[in-house]
Structure 1
Amino acid sequence: MYRYHHLHLICSDLERMERFFVEVLGARLVERRKFGTADGAVLDLHGTQINLRTLRTDEMVTGDGSQKHYGYDHLGLEVEDVESAYRALQGEGYQFITPPTDTGTSKMAFFRGPDHIVIELLQKKV
Structure 2
Amino acid sequence: MIRAVHHVGISTPNLARLRSFYCDLLGFTELSHITWQPGEAQIDKVMALSGTAASVAMLKMGPTCVELFQFEAPPQPPRDAGDRPVQRHGMSHLCFDVADVEADYQRLLAAGVRFHAPPQDFGSVKATYGRDPDGNVFELQQIVDG
Aligned twin of 1:14 = 15
C-alpha distance after superposition, 1:4-43 (max 9, x if no partner): 2410000111001001111001101001013651011011
Aligned twin of 2:63 = 47
CA distance in 2, matches of 1:67, 1:16: 19
Alignment of 1:30-41 (within 5 A): 30-34=31-35, 36=43, 37-41=53-57
Alignment of 1:1-126 (within 5 A): 1-2=1-2, 3-34=4-35, 36=43, 37-64=53-80, 66-68=83-85, 69-126=88-145
How does the TM-score come out when normalised to structure 1? Answer: 0.91
4+ residue runs over 4 A deviation: none
How does the TM-score come out when normalised to structure 2? Answer: 0.79
C-alpha distance after superposition, 1:40-89 (max 9, x if no partner): 10111222111001124114134246132310110000000010011001
Q: What CA RMSD, in Å, does the superposition of the two structures yield over aligned residues?
A: 1.6
Residue 98 of structure 1 deviates from its aligned partner by: 2.4
Larger Rg: 2
> Structure 1 residues 59, 72: CA separation in 2 closer, same or farther (over 3 Å shift)?
farther
- SS at 1:54 equivalent: strand
- SS at 1:80 equivalent: coil
Aligned length: 126
- SS at 1:66 equivalent: coil
Gaps of 5+ in 1: none
